[in-house]
Structure 1
């Protein structure tokens, strides 16, 4: 039995004990609950409701703390650049953290979310959106790879974009072969707030599995 299950059983057992006859017979609630199975069930339901609310509040607090930590990391990078320090910015991620198969197609051009994060020094890459956001002005290097869909014919087109500007692309949309890969890279200047991401063109697909064929990586070369 897992630790969580044991805790749940203990809570339920304790709650039921409170509802047993004679434990609180001097109170109105005790006299009403005495010997009543329905009262015990109601009390358990109330306790479960309280626990769910506490768990939900804890989840919100954890999300809040994670966001604060990310914002703190970004502020440290900004301050380092202002005082002449050397900010450390580097990330690398793969497209899938689980599962196998095609990703797409989508009805519009869509940023790919690289969810399996290998590294994210500086917290400038957001796996929830697939977007890298520059926290310091500088010259950056980015590289991405693409693995085409397996069948029936190749139908893969991805592009690296800076804000809304298309920088470079990798594609495979003809022929009868599969298991093809391609990659591309750029060195570009970024200002604070600039976004860089890999976009899957509308009505196109890419394939990935646990081998992590599709990756997106980048790092700061030097500040400017």
Structure 2
């Protein structure tokens, strides 16, 4: 039984006792009128005042407890809604995947450059979680976890082509192909543990070039495997 229920029971007992007290007083009055004495025991009014005061205290306690219960109920509802919102946000954060090719339209070569240069893959077909920026070519990890990346570069009328996968300023893997003529291509993949804010890019091998057209053959893709 809750505290409020117990207080309510006590109040009902007091209310039920009042008619009984009045009945006793009435019987007592009938008996004392014959003897010419006072019509009611002298302590009746004192008992009535005590019961009335007790009833007032019980009512006040019930009001206070009901108010406290309402506050706790509201706090519980707010905490539950906050937890639901956090779970929804976490669910959205853990949904991360993207895939893009180098050119958004047309065809052409990119490079050569004197230094390793970030490739900006502008034709984005998937970007769940918006972690990849098609204006900079940078993928930024939104949550700590294990990620997997794949990249491919195609050369045209070239002897070699290649591209690195970078985590921040750290070289991870190289995809590279060299041949005497024709259309060299290279691809590679890697799984990385990333912290929040880590950046992953594909950078063209210095001195080489890559080609893309409407078939989207130079690509960069990645997705979150699981959080940690």
Q: TM-score range by the shorter chain?
A: 0.5 to 0.7
- Deviation of 1:216 after TM superposition, in Å, equals 0.5
Which residue number in structure 2 is paired with residue 8 of structure 1?
A: none
Asked if 1:121 corresponds to 2:128, the answer is yes
Cα pair distance change 1:137/1:113, threshold 3 Å: same
1:172 to partner: Cα distance = 2.1
2:108 aligned with 1:104: no
Among candidates 212, 219, 223, match of residue 219 of structure 1: 223
Aligned residues: 143
In structure 1, what is the Cα distance between the partners aligned to 2:90 and 2:102? Answer: 36
The runs of 5 or more residues in structure 2 that have no matched partner are 1-85
Q: Is the 8 A contact 1:81 1:87 kept in 2?
A: no
State the distance in 2 between where 1:144 and 1:154 align: 19
Work out whether 1:154 is the aligned partner of 2:159: yes
Kept after mapping to 1: 8 A contact 2:152/2:186? yes
**Structure 1: how far apart are the matches of 2:134 and 2:93?**
24
Counterpart position of 1:14: none
TM norm structure 1:
0.59
In structure 2, what is the equivalent of residue 6 of structure 1?
none
User: Which residue of 1 is the match for residue 198 of structure 2?
Assistant: 194
Residue 208 of structure 1 is matched in structure 2 by: 212
TM-score, structure 2 length as denominator? 0.58
> 1:169 and 1:156, CA in 2 relative to 1: closer, same or farther beyond 3 A?
same
